[in-house]
Structure 1
Amino acid sequence: MPRPILFAIDDDTSVLEAVVQDLRRNYGQNYRILRAASGQAAIDTCSQLKGRGESVALFLSDQRMPGMTGVDFLSRAIDLYPDAKRVLLTAYADTEAAIRAINTAKIHYYLNKPWDPPEEKLYPVLDDLLANWHEGYKPPYEGLQVVGTRWGMADHNVREFLTRNHVGYRWLDPQHTSEALDLLKSRGIDDAKLPVVVFNDGTAMVQPTQQDLAAKVGLKTQVERDFYDVVVVGAGPAGLAAGVYGASEGLRTLIVEPEAPGGQAGSSSRIENYLGFPQGLSGDELAKRGFIQAQRLGAEFVTERVTGIRVENQYRIVVLSDGREISASVILIATGVSWCRLNVPGAEELVGRGVYYGAAQSEAASCKDESVFVVGGANSAGQAAMHFSKYAKNVTMLVRANSLEKSMSKYLIDQIASTPNIVVDTCTEIIQFGGDDHLRCIQVNCDGKVESREASSVFIFIGAAPKTDWLPKEVLRDDRGFVLAGPDLRRVGIDKMPGGRDPFLLETSVPGIFVAGDVRHGSVKRAASAVGEGSIAIQFVHQYLAEF
């Protein structure tokens, strides 16, 4: 972080040098000492400092300077650095003018020249002024900054991507803070082109793609090799577990994930029934631990999207969204599932602008003191309701069933019942969303009675479905798109693999392509189950590789 600045201004070079030397001797370790030989030169420098976001703690200006007096300079400096302390250097003959300047130029102190010894006549005065300045000083934020509105879909996607990937940032909404507009202006960026991401090296990205953003924040977007023993598609619990076991057992393992480690489970605000964590942990924390563990053991991660796979002789080819291809002996499909969409009027138009699928971690703080709606009655909805209850004024769960007992764990039901700002409306479903630039109201059918309710944020958890359209037709799926594997292949008439062997437990209809986790037909939709499948899949990978 740049040190705050002490700025000395005097047209007499010998006096200026003496001032600078005295300042450096006592304050050089904690402050940068700058100088200027005229008031105008100092104003020009201050304008540049302001544009770079640097802080000036104190101005020390001589009064008698040609072109612009010290009083005139200190008066103009208020516009650029209103909180900086202002000290005027004067001769005894200018004492009266200095006293008047305390009111006209709002100077904080004046010093008569000479000030020897500085230990008695200079430093005690400046020490008091600087101590007072530090009480109200807020160091400039040096990390990544996102300038965007709350209700923009692209803006929401950027914030959610950074949040899920544990990239710290500060969000500035130009509709609520002038600092956002100042930041854009200092970089010559049109405020109509949002979102804008400003990095701590001074560069900025306007409406960045996810891939560009991933590369800039240090996520890997390029693979290290052309060939791997196993490529894992997806970094949810199943994919992370496969990465841990594959890498630890000596397999060259690549994990390809387009968004963030953790998958759907990674967006869960609290998992309290995962073995070994009696206090519970967030899905985000579980994903972070798995990611670090897999990396430490040697698994390679790349932020990319897989658009296709194919078989060429003994190789399995993974095709990435940019056209690159990666060869592997084995592919493990661990893409999990995505939240089902709510098919009611207004839903699609308002996604990212008040309508969200999943917990949307980046939106939690925005809901402070607001009324939030959570749609769904399973564990994920209950966990989200508990999470948002810490921020929102109240949380209303809209549940289509007549109770939570059949779909939610008892520990969650008990927690919800004991949380005073959570209300559960059973036999209730949304039939319409309303709003223009963002969500403003919902219509609900409450046990046959239609009601309209004000709403700015609705989080939807109504079941999940696989996204497997990208898979080749040879990888057989059930009528809902879940991938068939092992004994379930008999449903489509496959009893034996080529060569007459039985399919391995998690092997798909294509030899050498395995599946694990929620995307598999018949899987148990639990994080622990997905971790188990990802782990044991590597055992079958070893058996497959031993045969070929």
Structure 2
Amino acid sequence: MKKPIILAVDDDPQVLAAITRDLRQEFRPNYRILSVGSGPEALTTLAELRTRAEPLALVLCDQRMPEVEGVAVLTRARELFPDAKRVLLTAYADTTAAIQAINSAQLDYYLLKPWDPPEELLYPTLRDLLAAWQAAYRPAFAGLRLIGFQWSPLSHELKDFLSGYLVGYQWLDFEKDAEATALLASTGLGPDDLPVVLYPDGHVAARPSKLDLAQHLGLPTDAKQALYDVVIIGAGPAGLAAAVYGASEGLTTLLIERQTPGGQAGSSSRIENYLGFPTGLSGTELAHRAWAQATRLGAEFMGPREVVDLCVQDGYKVLTLSDNQEIKAKAVVLTTGVSYRTLDVPGLARLSGAGVYYGAARTEARGCADQPVYIVGGGNSAGQAAMYLATYAARVFIVIRGASLAASMSAYLIEQIGQTPNIEILPHTQLREARGEHTLEAVVLQRDGEEPQEHPARALFIFIGAKPSTEWICHLALCDAKGYLLTGRDLVTDPRYGASWKKAREPYLLETCVPGLFAAGDGRAGAMARVASAVGEGSMAIKFVHQYLDE
């Protein structure tokens, strides 16, 4: 972080050299000392510091200078840097002007020449002024900054991506933050280029893709080897557990994730029923602990990368990525999980990402401050989202078709919701429409036996169940009627699928109809939708990978 600046101004070279020497002797460890030799030069320097967003702590300026007097310099300093301390350096004959400047230029102090010894006549005053400035100073954000529109789908996508990888960033709403307008103007870009990412190294990117963002941030986006013992597709709890055990047991292990680590669990604001965490933890925290553990043990990670095809060649599994890159593996574990089902209601598709969200979308919670928000769904994910949003929104309404949450939500969440005064459950109610020109403005709800009614809404979060993310693999691996991957005994005991298994041995418990291709987690038929269950299956899958590789 840059040191704050002390600016000294005097047209007398000897005086300027003396004041610069004394300032550096006392304040150099914590401040940068700049010196200029005229009023016009001081004004130019102030403008440059403002353009570069440099922190200016104090201006010490001589009064009697040709062209531009000291009071004029300090007045301009106050306009550009309202919080900077302003000190006039003057001879005894100019004390009247200095006293008048206390009011006209809101001068903080004036000092008389000469100031010898500085230990008595200079440093004590400046120390007090700098201490007062430091007490109110808030350093400018020095990391990645994202400028965009609050309810832009692409802005939402980039915010979710950065948050998912725990990348610290500053969000600037172009419509509300004056700083965003000035920053965008300094890049030479305009509102049509938003969202814009400003990297700490000075690089600027307009409307970047997630892959571009990952590459510039130094995230691993390419495989280091051509062949792996095991490739795991999907970095949810099951995939992360498989990566931990695969790497720890000496397998060359690659984990590929198309979005961010954690899967659906990663978007959970608080998981309170996971073993070993009595006070709970967020899904993001759990995912990144597991990610750090897997990479420390030697697993490779690629993201955001999407596997679009998989085929078998001479016993090896060949994975094709969206950019046509190919990776070979001896065994593959599918942990692609599930995605939220979409709701076929007028207005939802048009406003998706602009006030309508499938899943928790925690990055948008602050934008809902003091506004009403609605949640459709009555499962645990909906309950966790409601508890999180209730800390920001004025009211949170949970819309459910049934009479209560008891049939679909854990008891601890129902109890917490009942104790939260700004959460209201709307039973026997359905969403009929989402309204708004560019962003969500209202929802239309209908209670059983009543007419539809419009309600103002800032955001709508939908949790209506999930579907497996297996559409790209069902041509190779056998899936049930709902798209869930069939594994183990289901392949040989059910007469509908018995012909799909061709080897003499029985399939391993988590093995699909393709030998060496395993499935774990929520995308597997018969899996239990719990984080602990997914972690267990991911760990088990590595045992079966070992058995397959030893054949």
Partner residue in 1 for 2:426 = 425
Q: How far did 1:481 drift? A: 1.6
Q: How far did 1:14 drift? A: 1.6
Partner residue in 2 for 1:187 = 187
The amino acid across from 1:154 in the alignment is L
Q: How far did 1:526 drift? A: 1.2
Whole-angstrom distance in 1 between the partners of 2:222 and 2:301: 9
Deviations 1:253-287 (A, max 9, x none): 00001211110111112222222222222222221
Partner residue in 2 for 1:257 = 257
Q: Which of 468, 471, 483 is matched with 1:469 structurally?
A: 471
Q: 1:333 to 1:138 in 2, by over 3 A?
A: same
Q: Contact 2:403 / 2:428 at 8 angstroms: preserved in 1?
A: yes
Q: Contact 2:491 / 2:500 at 8 angstroms: preserved in 1?
A: no
Partner residue in 2 for 1:511 = 515
The amino acid across from 1:347 in the alignment is L
- 1:481 matches 2:489: no
Q: How far did 1:346 drift? A: 0.3
Deviations 1:60-86 (A, max 9, x none): 112232322222222222222122111
- 1:526 matches 2:527: no
Partner residue in 1 for 2:13 = 13
Partner residue in 2 for 1:374 = 375
* SS of residue in 2 equivalent to 1:402: coil
Q: How far did 1:496 drift? A: 6.9
Partner residue in 2 for 1:36 = 36
- 1:63 matches 2:67: no
* SS of residue in 2 equivalent to 1:192: helix
Whole-angstrom distance in 2 between the partners of 1:353 and 1:415: 29
Q: How far did 1:495 drift? A: 5.2
Whole-angstrom distance in 2 between the partners of 1:39 and 1:235: 60
Partner residue in 1 for 2:141 = 141
Q: How far did 1:472 drift? A: 5.9
* SS of residue in 1 equivalent to 2:61: strand
**Larger deviation, residues 72-81 vs 327-336:** 72-81
Q: Contact 1:495 / 1:502 at 8 angstroms: preserved in 2?
A: no
The amino acid across from 1:460 in the alignment is I
Q: Contact 2:372 / 2:393 at 8 angstroms: preserved in 1?
A: yes
Whole-angstrom distance in 2 between the partners of 1:405 and 1:28: 65
Partner residue in 1 for 2:320 = 319
Whole-angstrom distance in 1 between the partners of 2:514 and 2:502: 9
**Larger deviation, residues 347-356 vs 448-457:** 448-457
Q: Contact 2:490 / 2:497 at 8 angstroms: preserved in 1?
A: no
The amino acid across from 2:509 in the alignment is L
Q: Contact 1:496 / 1:503 at 8 angstroms: preserved in 2?
A: no
Whole-angstrom distance in 2 between the partners of 1:96 and 1:387: 60
* SS of residue in 2 equivalent to 1:8: strand
Aligned residues: 547
Deviations 1:186-222 (A, max 9, x none): 2222133211111222222211100011122232112
Whole-angstrom distance in 1 between the partners of 2:404 and 2:89: 77
Unaligned runs of 5+ in 1: none
Q: How far did 1:3 drift? A: 0.9
**Larger deviation, residues 457-466 vs 398-407:** 398-407
Q: Contact 1:445 / 1:451 at 8 angstroms: preserved in 2?
A: yes
**Larger deviation, residues 99-108 vs 331-340:** 99-108
**Larger deviation, residues 237-246 vs 112-121:** 112-121
TM-score by length of 1: 0.97
Partner residue in 2 for 1:208 = 208
Q: Contact 2:521 / 2:537 at 8 angstroms: preserved in 1?
A: yes
* SS of residue in 2 equivalent to 1:416: helix
* SS of residue in 1 equivalent to 2:302: strand
Q: How far did 1:178 drift? A: 0.4
**Larger deviation, residues 520-529 vs 16-25:** 520-529
Mapping for residues 483-502 of structure 1, pairs under 5 Å: 483-490=485-492, 491=494, 492-494=496-498, 497-502=501-506
Q: How far did 1:503 drift? A: 1.4
Unaligned runs of 5+ in 2: none
Whole-angstrom distance in 2 between the partners of 1:344 and 1:126: 65
Q: Contact 1:5 / 1:34 at 8 angstroms: preserved in 2?
A: yes
**Larger deviation, residues 322-331 vs 489-498:** 489-498
Mapping for residues 84-99 of structure 1, pairs under 5 Å: 84-99=84-99
Whole-angstrom distance in 2 between the partners of 1:455 and 1:472: 39
TM-score by length of 2: 0.96
Q: Which of 521, 543, 548 is matched with 1:544 structurally?
A: 548
Whole-angstrom distance in 2 between the partners of 1:350 and 1:370: 18
Whole-angstrom distance in 1 between the partners of 2:411 and 2:125: 66
Whole-angstrom distance in 1 between the partners of 2:405 and 2:389: 18
* SS of residue in 2 equivalent to 1:343: coil
The amino acid across from 1:486 in the alignment is G
- 1:285 matches 2:289: no
Partner residue in 2 for 1:416 = 417
Partner residue in 2 for 1:365 = 366
Q: Contact 1:308 / 1:472 at 8 angstroms: preserved in 2?
A: no
**Larger deviation, residues 37-46 vs 519-528:** 37-46
Q: Contact 1:240 / 1:290 at 8 angstroms: preserved in 2?
A: yes
The amino acid across from 2:513 in the alignment is S
